[in-house]
Structure 1
């Protein structure tokens, strides 16, 4: 390791939006619910654990969610309530440290190497944070405690819901080794499939490949994968900087040429992007399309509106129009991306968004 060890906690609220709705409406407790839209273009922002048993997941189209779980109850999001609860949770964080990096309304990294109460154990800090969240909000949170951000985030998902996982210095490599590579934060679905083709199924398989091998197959991302397989991550916890844009992109296993396939993929990307926009409450005035061709040439096209885009239908329509204007493509597309730029700040429009040493 070429960086000093830190004490990092990743806190992730359990099924945040859905848990708030079940807390506030006793009639929803113990029932499969989804927060979001259940219509033809609706998207599941998050769902209760009762719904997850049926295979319902965040970013899933509402129509598909209903097919998987016919008794699913859709609840309209109440972002003003989620923001208020998120504010309560962040106030709890600030009792322990000022080095906080929110990722969304429902999760954040905390650096507690040196913390305000002077507690030596990061595990004790995490337990105290979870206790305070339960007492003050009536909700549960899961925590990952480790010596870097990568492992802390993976650990917070290990014992959900309402759990804690501690990975101490010297344990990171073994923790990663037993994990499917698709779970490693930073390994997307396309990369995971490529790794599978190379016989890389687990963190242990990834660690067995040397850096030149990874560079030959994964280019500039190779060093990250090499270090991740060894439980290494030198990134510090940063206070959140002003968000400039929100985007989603996907690399395809086979290059796409046909208009129907391109539009279908872009519609799917727009659904995922809208989920991110709602979660971050990051409303933007400019919709940007990105296309990477088979020869790795990249073009971007954009359309700006007089007001922030606050409709998933308008977002998808703008993306389709930008794409259709480029058809037919002169060669296949290996990647499509869609994003919103020129975001309005919280102050401008009054909106925000969902969300080892001695450890």
Structure 2
């Protein structure tokens, strides 16, 4: 690893089945039972599933209809985001007792940089253990954690001993840890990319590491270069306490599939109004409008247009979304529509440090 590349002590804390666990904590009669948050009704989509439900194959983003087929005893609970947000703030307060370098990813997970921490504790592993114990004692929920030299490895590690566990990947173990991983475990490599890698004989981190940067860039575009570095333990992204919002969106799933564009426009009016409301609340505007269309066969399509100026007005957003809707023929009836605004006026440009492709290793002496 280049001498100027910092080695950090990063913890990724991930709450265990957060929404479902909150519901089971608040309603003791639900403990030990297969539970899904959301997903109720004919067109419902699941937001979270308890571990009891996951044993049957139920998972988030799954339709309620499919989930009930997999688990006939499944209990559906309406989401209570106000409650989840309140508990999330309690948990983040615990994080800040150890470091101000806290980067929330969502209500239920965050990165912590404890290289220099408020407790003066040199062991990131012991800090993670203490944080998890405090969350259990003070909030009543369990959390899992991953500890390593950067955000990428820490996030992968946090999934290893779930639920209610943690895993530390020491600096001297990073390369071996990444080499033995199935590439599906690599954060940022989705199902489609994984299948493409399988077709090219790339099944593990070791297979990925055997490919040159030029090869990966040629076959996987700009992402190929990042794959080259991450499999070598190089991921120099800092923990950012104030993350820059990159997009803002709203979407709706419909009780009945829509076949008429007239009805779709009416739905888009409500969605555009919600997006404008969220833009106003966040005091931002954006240039790129994206229309999301999910068809009755669950295939997904997005259509985007970048305007020459920043927008936050509902009517302008709606006009752009309507133009995108009429841009091409719809191939099926539609079950979901969404509008997102990106290219926001809050984004900054960060310089990317160049790295030597030939000289890559991992520093060994670092107390975890």
TM class, shorter-chain normalised?
A: 0.7 to 0.9
Structure 1, gaps ≥5 residues long: 249-259, 268-273, 275-281, 292-297, 310-314, 330-336, 343-355
Q: 1:20 aligns with which of 19, 22, 35?
A: 22
Question: How far off its partner does 1:243 sit?
Answer: 2.4
Matches within 5 A, 1:205-354: 205-246=207-248, 283=278, 288-289=290-291, 299-300=304-305, 306=314, 324-328=325-329, 339-341=339-341
TM-score, structure 1 length as denominator?
Answer: 0.75
The equivalent of 1:94 in structure 2 is 96
The equivalent of 1:351 in structure 2 is none
1:161 matched to 2:167: no
Question: How far off its partner does 1:173 sit?
Answer: 1.3
The equivalent of 2:367 in structure 1 is 358
Question: How far off its partner does 1:324 sit?
Answer: 4.2
Question: How far off its partner does 1:241 sit?
Answer: 2.6
Post-superposition CA distance 1:222-272 (Å, at most 9, x none): 111011111221111111335242469xxxxxxxxxxx9xx9xxx9xxxxx
The equivalent of 1:138 in structure 2 is 140
- Higher Cα radius of gyration: 2
Q: In 2, are the aligned partners of 1:289 and 1:322 still within 8 Å (CA)?
A: no
Question: How far off its partner does 1:284 sit?
Answer: 5.6
Q: 1:72 to 1:305 in 2, by over 3 A?
A: farther
Q: Report SS of the residue matched to 1:11.
A: strand
Q: Structure with the greater relative contact order (CA < 8 A, sep ≥ 6): 1 or 2?
A: 1
- CA RMSD for the aligned pairs? 3.2
Question: How far off its partner does 1:323 sit?
Answer: 5.4
Q: In 2, are the aligned partners of 1:147 and 1:357 still within 8 Å (CA)?
A: no
Question: How far off its partner does 1:341 sit?
Answer: 2.9
The equivalent of 1:58 in structure 2 is 60
Question: How far off its partner does 1:299 sit?
Answer: 4.3
Greater CA drift, 22-31 or 228-237:
228-237
Give the distance between the partners of 1:140 and 1:173, measured in 2 at CA: 29
The equivalent of 1:80 in structure 2 is 82
The equivalent of 1:199 in structure 2 is 201
Greater CA drift, 191-200 or 174-183:
174-183
Q: Report SS of the residue matched to 1:170.
A: helix
The equivalent of 1:278 in structure 2 is none
Matches within 5 A, 1:173-184: 173-184=175-186
Give the distance between the partners of 2:227 and 2:119, measured in 1 at CA: 36
Q: In 2, are the aligned partners of 1:141 and 1:163 still within 8 Å (CA)?
A: yes
Question: How far off its partner does 1:26 sit?
Answer: 0.8
Give the distance between the partners of 1:299 and 1:89, measured in 2 at CA: 37
Post-superposition CA distance 1:292-333 (Å, at most 9, x none): xxxxxx8428998759x9xxxxx9xx97x665412249xxxx
Report the number of matched residues. 295
Q: In 1, are the aligned partners of 2:122 and 2:367 still within 8 Å (CA)?
A: yes
Q: 1:247 to 1:224 in 2, by over 3 A?
A: farther
The equivalent of 1:253 in structure 2 is none
Q: In 2, are the aligned partners of 1:123 and 1:145 still within 8 Å (CA)?
A: yes
Greater CA drift, 232-241 or 152-161:
232-241
Give the distance between the partners of 1:300 and 1:62, measured in 2 at CA: 33
Q: Report SS of the residue matched to 2:171.
A: coil
TM-score, structure 2 length as denominator?
Answer: 0.73
The equivalent of 1:353 in structure 2 is none
Q: Which runs of 4+ in 1 moved over 3 A?
A: 282-287, 301-307, 321-324
Q: 1:79 to 1:67 in 2, by over 3 A?
A: same
Give the distance between the partners of 1:229 and 1:244, measured in 2 at CA: 26
Give the distance between the partners of 2:339 and 2:57, measured in 1 at CA: 27
